[in-house]
């Protein structure tokens, strides 16, 4: 069976590797499996029900949900009748919900829980296209449960669904995924069946598992990274187990014993920090052994280490690292990492501990994988994002920007041909906005970001300029620079509007001898915290400024922080205030 459209994948699984536990949720303390055959039965019923409701090719349904089997049933049901799935991040602001719903012309919305329902209810009256209602995956009093949709499936025959399936082409739009835009408005990335299917097929050779494997899934399925991997798991015949929540990952890993899972560097950092914290609690010989093993891990190389080193590592694996492996279920063959840069030190340690991390690189616009490391001989190099996939052409432009071409490159940005032309050139190359290099062995390395937009270590994009413009609406704030590239969270350097601040301080009876004295006052810091909290409310959780430092001197052209057109010289400011930034992020 040739896979050309995304929904072909689930039928392919039934034909080749029918699984009793294709997708598994944990409900009321019990893992509840849905077999491949049951998935297909429910998918077809839902397709029929949507057709009975009048849905047709090109209509949009938004899903705002945690990872769960129901999401996949809805997704495949939409895909095979040409309805476009618009998955949305649960953590974005109400303003962004409203914009996306209207821009995509969403007809129906499905949310997982009461909190998300409340967000959607707050904007539904401002979305005229939302005519087919709001449904929930969880049972919520007085709300329509998603299973109510099934009630109408008998009005439409299965033959009708099969007929429509035949008309769905690989070039048809499969999904609209909205990503943060530098101008503030999210951009709707148009991905076709071919875009994602080509990425699934090309990534297949990099995944070291087969139909006997289990995967634990917890990264947001609304992100194309986890979503493409869910299609890939289904294609390979891997059983997908959904973690209950981010907080229960540790328990779920030990219950499921997965062969692989995906993560972002921030999560791997957290796991590592916890392990080291436990090591620090040890005493005597046990503590010494723990840190000896850690040091061995830091020195790990794929080739060239002595027999003596490997003997020591074998002992370290038996005494120390085996406990690490047990903590993640004891069967992990690899961890796939993406969405932000992984510290090469961690990559070495985890590889030494027999839990190799396969770091990859991609964007929503490239469906998403451009390159990824693999466990094949010559397929891995620390500090790189691996070799490009075989069906993706990667070049380095004259200015160092990574540009890519292939069947995985998006159709474009929805309703925005101008922006599409800016990023996809006449030859069909997509301009990533990242700076990188390809070494003599063909490994891709990301060295910098071309634009000011940055990613936190959790893999979330942050558009600093948009945030800065909003924060400068405060009468207390004269200048601000949002920082956080590769860090745990965004933070900010703030230059107060001293004229306004001093008049406020006078009203409050605050005395001071200098600007530095004034900004060190606890009452002043508390007032700025109120301002930061107020303006943070306009942004998604991952964008919000978690810490800030007030600075005593304004940034000027003369002192070197501003360009002649009064733009921030970000690199200059980062360098000048390195000590302040280290303080913000708890570095000595």
Do residues 376 and 493 share a domain? Answer: no
Provide the number of structural domains found in the chain.
2
Is 324 in the same domain as 212?
Answer: yes
Residue 60 lies in a domain: no
The reply to whether 298 and 367 lie within a common domain is yes
Q: Examine the domain organization and report whether 210 and 350 are in the same domain.
A: yes
564: pLDDT strictly greater than 60 = no
Q: Looking at the structure, tell me whether residues 260 and 297 fall in a common domain.
A: yes
Q: List CB contacts of 318: < 8 A, sequence separation 6 or more.
A: none
Burial class (CB in 10 A: 0-12, 13-18, 19+), 200: buried
Are 87 and 196 within 8 A, CB to CB? no
Q: What is the pLDDT of residue 448?
A: 65
- Based on the fold, state whether residues 493 and 447 are members of the same structural domain: no
| 337, 285: one domain | yes
User: What is the distance between the alpha carbons of residues 145 and 566, in angstroms, rounded to a whole number?
Assistant: 53
| 220 and 359 inside one domain | yes
Same domain, 256 and 356: yes
pLDDT over threshold 70, residue 309? yes
Q: How many degrees, rounded to 5, is the angle at CA 119 between CA 113 and CA 124?
A: 115
More confident residue, 459 or 393: 393
**Is there a domain that residue 342 lies in?**
yes
CA distance 128 to 141: 25
Q: pTM for the complete prediction?
A: 0.80
Across the range 427-446, mean pLDDT stands at: 94
Nearest of 241, 244, 222 to residue 233 by alpha carbon: 241
Per-residue confidence at 78, pLDDT binned at 50, 70, 90?
very high
* SS3 category, 88: coil
Q: How confident is the model at residue 565 (pLDDT cuts 50, 70, 90)?
A: very low
* Residues in a beta bridge with 462: 454
- Residues 534-559: what's their mean pLDDT? 92
Of 488, 233, 349, 369, nearest in space to 359 by CA: 369
At residue 305, the pLDDT reads 96
Percent of the chain exceeding pLDDT 90 equals 80
Q: CA 262: distance to chain centroid?
A: 10
Per-residue confidence (pLDDT) for residue 172, from 0 to 100: 98
How many beta carbons lie within 10 A of that of residue 545, not counting itself?
22
Helix (H, G, I), strand (E, B) or coil at 115: helix
Q: Are residues 241 and 382 in the same domain?
A: yes
Q: What pLDDT does residue 387 have? A: 98
Q: Which residues lie below 8 Å from residue 307, measured CB to CB, with a gap of 6+? A: none
**Tokens at residue 127, please?**
């979305």
- Select the more confidently predicted residue: 467 or 388: 388
Rounded to an integer, the average pLDDT of 210-233 is 96
What lies within 8 Å, CB to CB, of 525 at 6+ separation is 519, 550
Alpha-carbon gap, residue 184 to 464, rounded angstroms? 10
Is 308 exposed, middle or buried (CB count within 10 Å of its CB: 0-12, 13-18, 19+)? Answer: exposed
Report in angstroms the alpha-carbon separations of 222 from 182, 374, 438: 20, 25, 30
CATH of the domain at 382: 3.40.50.12780
CA 531 – CA 471 distance, rounded (Å): 8
| 501 in any annotated domain | yes
Q: What is the residue range of 432's domain?
A: 197-404+427-451
173 occurs within a structural domain = no
Compute the average pLDDT of residues 441-452.
82
Please say whether the beta carbons of 66 and 246 come within 8 A. Answer: no
pLDDT band at 567 (very low <50, low <70, confident <90, very high): low
What is the model's pLDDT at position 182? 39
Tokens of 467: 């945030």
Helix, strand, or coil (residue 178)? strand
- Round the CA-based radius of gyration of the chain to a whole number and report it: 26
Which pLDDT score is estimated for 183?
Answer: 46
- Rounded Cα distance, 503 and 283, in Å: 56
- Return the H-helix or E-strand segment holding 215: strand 214-217
Q: Which token pair is 584?
A: 């913000």
Task: Specify the CATH number for the domain of residue 525.
Answer: 3.30.300.30
Alpha carbons 562 and 146: distance in angstroms, whole number: 54
Q: Alpha-carbon dihedral of residues 471, 476, 478, 479, nearest 10 degrees?
A: -50
pLDDT digits (tens, 9 = 90+) for 223-279: 999 999 999 999 999 999 999 988 899 999 999 999 999 998 868 877 887 887 788
Q: Mind listing the pLDDT tens digit for each residue in 146-158?
A: 999 999 999 999 9
Greater model confidence, 286 or 464: 286
The answer on 399 and 275 residing in a single domain is: yes
In angstroms, rounded to a whole number, what is the distance separating the alpha carbons of residues 557 and 548? 23
Instruction: Pick the closest to residue 442 from 479, 390, 405, 492 (CA basis).
Output: 390
The predicted-structure confidence for 311-341, as pLDDT tens digits, reads as follows 999 999 999 999 999 999 999 999 999 877 7
DSSP 340: S
Chain-wide mean pLDDT for the chain?
93
What pLDDT, on a 0 to 100 scale, did the predictor assign at position 93? 77
Cα 375 from Cα 359, distance rounded (Å): 11
**Cβ contacts of 248 within 8 Å, gap of 6 or more:** none
pLDDT of 558 over the 90 cut: no
Residue 72's nearest CA partner among 217, 259, 254, 258 is 217
Say yes or no: 380 and 447 in one domain: yes
Q: Which two tokens stand for residue 356?
A: 């190799």
- The answer to whether 72 and 33 have CB atoms below 8 angstroms apart is no
In a domain, 21, yes or no: no
For residue range 359-386, what is the model confidence (pLDDT) as tens digits? 999 999 999 999 999 999 999 999 999 9
- Is 106 part of a structural domain of the chain? no
- Do β-strands 260-263 and 30-34 pair in parallel, antiparallel, or remain unpaired? unpaired
Q: For residue 240, is it within any domain?
A: yes
Rounded Cα distance between 183 and 529, Å, is 26
- 428, pLDDT greater than 60: yes
Residue 104 is assigned to a structural domain of this protein: no
Q: How many CB atoms lie within 10 A of CB 268?
A: 22
* Chain position carrying tokens 């709300």: 143
């Amino acid at each position: 069976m040739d896979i050309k459209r995304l929904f072909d994948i689930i039928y392919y699984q039934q034909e080749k590797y029918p699984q009793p536990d294709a997708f598994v949720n944990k409900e009321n303390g019990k893992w509840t499996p849905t077999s491949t055959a049951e998935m297909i039965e429910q998918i077809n019923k839902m397709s029929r029900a949507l057709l009975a409701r009048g849905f047709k090719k090109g209509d949009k349904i938004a899903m705002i949900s945690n990872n769960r089997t129901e999401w996949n049933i809805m997704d495949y049901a939409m895909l095979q009748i040409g309805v476009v799935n618009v998955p949305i991040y649960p953590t974005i602001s109400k303003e962004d919900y409203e914009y996306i719903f209207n821009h995509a012309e969403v007809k129906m919305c499905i949310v997982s829980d009461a909190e998300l329902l409340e967000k959607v209810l707050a904007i539904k009256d401002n979305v005229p296209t939302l005519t087919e209602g709001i449904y929930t995956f969880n049972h919520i009093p007085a709300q329509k449960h998603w299973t109510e949709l099934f009630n109408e499936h008998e009005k439409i025959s299965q033959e009708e669904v099969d007929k429509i399936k035949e008309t769905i082409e690989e070039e048809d739009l499969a999904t609209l995924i909205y990503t943060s835009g530098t101008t503030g408005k999210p951009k709707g990335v148009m991905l076709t069946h071919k875009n994602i299917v080509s990425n699934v097929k090309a990534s297949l050779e990099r995944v070291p598992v087969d139909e006997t494997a289990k995967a634990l899934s917890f990264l947001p399925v609304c992100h194309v990274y986890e979503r493409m991997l869910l299609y890939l798991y289904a294609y390979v015949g891997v059983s997908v187990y959904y973690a209950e929540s981010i907080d229960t990952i540790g328990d779920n890993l030990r219950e499921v014993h997965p062969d692989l899972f995906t993560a972002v560097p921030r999560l791997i950092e957290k796991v590592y920090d916890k392990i080291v914290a436990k090591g620090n609690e040890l005493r005597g010989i046990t503590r010494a052994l723990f840190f000896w093993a850690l040091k061995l891990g830091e020195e790990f190389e794929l080739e060239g280490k002595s027999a003596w080193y490997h003997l020591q590592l074998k002992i370290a694996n038996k005494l120390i690292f085996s406990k690490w492996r047990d903590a993640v279920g004891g069967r992990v063959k690899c961890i796939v990492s993406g969405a932000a840069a992984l510290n090469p030190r961690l990559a070495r340690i985890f590889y030494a501990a027999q839990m190799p991390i396969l770091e990859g690189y991609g964007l929503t616009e490239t469906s998403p994988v451009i390159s990824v490391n693999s466990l094949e001989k010559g397929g891995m190099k620390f500090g790189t994002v691996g070799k490009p996939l075989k069906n993706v052409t990667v070049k380095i432009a004259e200015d160092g920007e990574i540009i890519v071409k292939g069947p995985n490159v998006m159709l474009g940005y929805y309703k925005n041909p101008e922006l599409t032309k800016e990023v996809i050139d006449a030859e069909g190359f997509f301009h990533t906005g990242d700076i990188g290099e390809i070494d003599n062995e063909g490994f891709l390395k990301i060295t910098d970001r071309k634009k000011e937009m940055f990613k936190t270590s959790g893999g979330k994009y942050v558009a600093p300029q948009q945030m800065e413009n909003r924060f400068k609406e405060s009468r207390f704030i004269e200048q601000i620079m949002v920082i956080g590239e590769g860090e745990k969270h965004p933070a900010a350097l703030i230059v107060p509007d001293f004229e306004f601040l001093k008049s406020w301080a006078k009203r409050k009876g605050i005395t001071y001898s200098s600007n530095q004295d004034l900004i060190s006052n606890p009452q002043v810091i508390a007032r700025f915290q109120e301002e930061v909290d107020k303006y943070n409310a306009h942004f998604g959780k991952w964008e919000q400024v978690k810490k800030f430092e007030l600075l005593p001197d304004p940034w000027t052209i003369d002192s070197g922080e501003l360009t002649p057109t009064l733009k921030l010289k970000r690199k200059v400011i980062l360098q000048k205030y390195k000590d302040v930034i280290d303080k913000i992020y708890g570095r000595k």
